[in-house]
Amino acid sequence: MGPLEDLKGNRAEAVSVISGRLDARLPAVDDKEAPVTTGFDFSPKLVDVTQGARSVQIAVRVTDTIGVPPSSVAWQLNHETAGLSMVGDYMTLASGNDRDGVYRGEIQVMDPPSNVKAEPFETGGARVTWTPPSVTDPRLSTRYMVTAHPSGATQTVASTTATFTGLPLGEDFTFDVVAVNDAGSSAAGTSNAVRSSIPVKGSVTFGDRCGASGDCYEIPQTGLMYDHWDAQGQLISGQLTPGRYPASGYVRIGAWSDDPSVRVDGPSEWTHTFDASVPFADVPEGMAFFQDMCWMAEKKISTGWDVAGGKEYRPMQPVNRDAMAAFMYRLAGSPTFTPPKVSPFKDITPTTAFYKEMAWLASQGISTGWSMPDGSKEYRPLQPVNRDAMAAFMHRMAKSPVFTPPKVSPFSSR
């Protein structure tokens, strides 16, 4: 159905209402085939218009001047400044008769889609999302017409997402979204600007050797531009070429592109703080398991022993079972745990060093201790932990995953 004032050549009266913002266009008879030359006439006169928060009600008086009463009356609402256009349902005869009567109708006005957002999508594309209008006519199926500017590409979708591809590279686009149903259309919601571009990932890697001489960061070969900044936001060096660079302290690397058709895909900034020195005085660079012991310190699993001038790890010293409990508790993230007032082991008390950690091992079924003849259990905290027992602890800490051991041992010392 086209503009109702033009239906079948019939004459309609346009009446401006509601502070000049809305026009109620009153139609002629919409189902009569009589041509204009027959003298068919139809004279609607506005009775009243009221506007609520989400609807417009209108009443018109229809007088048939030639004896051909209308079988139905419909109407259209235009919002001149916002571009809204809504077609109302057929109006209902409220008083009088079909030759001289007052017809009333109501229509809900669709708000424009809100929160319209555009983001780059793959190469030369954009994805547009939005929130539906807060009120739509529940009897009508709402669709959305999405238009890209300046290209003019248009899509009509039923969901609240539209994806455009093949947009000219290097150009900025905005998108208008209009809600449409059989009753008309809303005003447009407009997105932010987004640039059509080629995505390029620009990951920077850091080689942290616990304050050792090999600390570095590496710039990949991507075609992007990379800058090095300090903790105060001062540029240290710009436009770094691909390669490996020595590093110390705080390092911030940012990636960007001087080509408008290229964008950084994913993170565009990376930071890392390198250790000023090795964490333990007795663990020099090059020692066996150097990285592993440094990792223990970085994750605060091992705090070592405080000595004059620093800390010691004492790598060749056996680990006692109480210290092992502390390591495993910290490895688990130091979970919240209230140790029991009554010890699960007869040889430790709530005042024993690492009591909480040893009690936690028991609560998790990681350590069962030794069963004693009197029915109690011992933990033996100052006894070095054997490697076979450590294997059992680790397996239980991993929730005892299903595993079928091989028939041939992987170790000759079985």
Phi-psi region of 74 (alpha: psi -120 to 50; beta: other; left: phi over 0): beta
User: Which pLDDT belongs to residue 22?
Assistant: 33
What is the C-alpha R_g of the chain? 39
Residue the block writes with tokens 């030359």? 37
Burial class (CB in 10 A: 0-12, 13-18, 19+), 43: middle
What pLDDT does 200 receive?
A: 94
Q: Is the pLDDT of residue 40 over 50?
A: no
- The domain segmentation of the chain, as residue ranges, is 4-108, 114-195, 200-273, 318-397
Higher pLDDT, 263 or 29: 263
| pLDDT tens digits, one per residue of 112-141 | 899 999 999 999 999 999 999 876 566 567
**Beta strands 143-149 and 198-200, pairing class:** unpaired
- pLDDT of 297 reads 85
Retrieve residue 231's tokens: 């903790």
Mean pLDDT lowest among 119-128, 157-166, 285-294, 356-365: 285-294
Tell me how far CA of residue 27 lies from CA of 5, 10, 22, 90, 411, in angstroms.
5, 8, 16, 10, 94
Task: Retrieve residue 104's tokens.
Answer: 């009333």
Q: What is the CATH number of domain 114-195?
A: 2.60.40.10
- Say if residue 4's pLDDT is above 60: no
- Section 365-373 average pLDDT: 93
Least confident of 179-188, 194-203, 398-407: 179-188
Q: What percentage of residues in the chain have a pLDDT greater than 90?
A: 45
Region 302-310: mean pLDDT is 88
Which residues are within 8 A (CB) of 130 and not within 5 positions of it... i.e. 6 or more apart?
113, 114, 115, 116, 117, 144, 160, 177, 189, 191
Which pLDDT does position 214 carry in this prediction? 77
Is the pLDDT higher at 281 or at 327?
327
